[in-house]
Amino acid sequence: MLPNREGQRVPNVTFRTRQGAEWVNRTSDEIFKGRTVVVFSLPGAFTPTCSSAHVPRYNQLAPVFRQHGVDEIVCVSVNDAFVMNEWQESQNCHDVTFLPDGNGEFTAGMGLLVDKADLGFGKRSWRYSMLVKDGVIVKEFIEPEEPGDPFVNSDADTMLKYLAPQAKAPADVTIFTRKGCPHCSRAKAALAQAGYAYEELVLNRDYTDRTLRAVTRAKTFPQVYIDGEHIGGADELEAWLKKRTAP
């Protein structure tokens, strides 16, 4: 059975990170002492679940975690500093600190270094997350010991629900736009003013008009989606926002 270390101190190790062209050591004390830190650890950089779900959601929720007293969100993987830096850049994930545990010392100290030789990975981390306060593990979510790579409880939403049960995650907003569209600019400004972070998809860069028709059945720009709901264009968005701010 994989050990749960709640109530114990995190392993005392030195992480060899790379900043620019320089090696920079970060110790466990530097990261955890006197601070509240959320850590999530995963089997490997650039792997499917890690890149598509685990890392992005922690990055998206980082502002909410900070609002509730978290000083830093840390991603740990048994990879070297060069790989971790490249992965962070490719993910455009700069609200999370990527720490290379290249020798597996931190992961072994957690009791969660496992053998993935069957995949050609060698020794890697089991997937888990934890809340650490002043170097002491307050809560740990360890994925169940099942075949493959389970991902059911170390996710960012589970951690946020534990940390702040009443916290509301930010809305998921996507806007389909095209270059030079004044209504698109108006919609983006309205979203920004209302405090909605959004992902912008630009015509002929991220999609074609075929995709717009397939998804929205519309031919005009922009087209806005919020939490799965098709809001419509700039006029519809402004009306939707007005309803939510009306007394």
For residue 94, the model assigns a pLDDT of 93
Question: Which top CATH class is 14-163?
Answer: alpha beta
Is position 181 annotated as part of the catalytic site?
no
Q: Give the rounded percent of residues in the chain with a pLDDT score beyond 90.
A: 94
What confidence tier does 119 reach under pLDDT thresholds 50, 70, 90?
Answer: confident
User: What is the C-alpha separation between 235 and 218, in angstroms, rounded?
Assistant: 14
Section 123-145 average pLDDT: 97
Peptide bond into 100 cis (omega under 30): no
Average pLDDT over residues 15-29: 96
**Per-residue exposure over 33-46, b if at least 16 CB sit within 10 Å of its own CB, e if not:** eeebbbbbbbbbbe
Classify the C-alpha dihedral 142-148-150-156 as positive or negative.
positive
Q: Is 27 in contact with 13 (CB distance < 8 Å)?
A: yes
Q: What pLDDT shows up at residue 118?
A: 87
Give me the residue label for tokens 């264009």: 233
Domains 14-163 and 173-245 share a fold: yes
pTM of the model: 0.88
Which residues, in sequence order, are CB contacts of 133 under 8 Å at separation 6+?
35, 36, 37
Q: Would you state the pLDDT for residue 150?
A: 94
pLDDT in tens, 35-61: 999 999 999 999 999 999 999 999 999
Say whether pLDDT at 207 is over 60: yes
Closest CA to 92 of 55, 62, 128: 55
For residue 59, the SS3 value is helix
Angle 41-126-155 (CA atoms, 0-180°, nearest 5)?
Answer: 50
Q: How many CA atoms within 13 Å lie on the side-chain side of 6?
A: 10
Q: Confidence band (pLDDT; 50, 70, 90) for 247?
A: low
In the chain, what are the domain boundaries?
A: 14-163, 173-245
User: What is the pLDDT at residue 245?
Assistant: 75
- For residues 210-231, give the mean pLDDT: 95
177 DSSP β-pair partners: 202
For residue 179, count other CB atoms closer than 10 A to its CB: 10
Per-residue pLDDT, 246: 59
Q: In the CATH hierarchy, which fold is given to the domain comprising 173-245?
A: Glutaredoxin (3.40.30)
**Calpha distance 140→10 (Å, rounded):** 11
pLDDT over 70, % of the chain: 99
Amino acid residing at 201: L
User: What does the block give as tokens for 203?
Assistant: 């015509």
Q: Which of 50, 75, 93, 184 is labelled catalytic?
A: 50
Distance CA 75, CA 39 (A): 6
Tell me what pLDDT residue 218 has.
93
165-204 per-position pLDDT tens digit = 999 899 999 999 999 999 999 999 999 999 999 999 999 9
**CA distances (Å), 109 to each of 12, 97, 200, in order?**
8, 20, 42
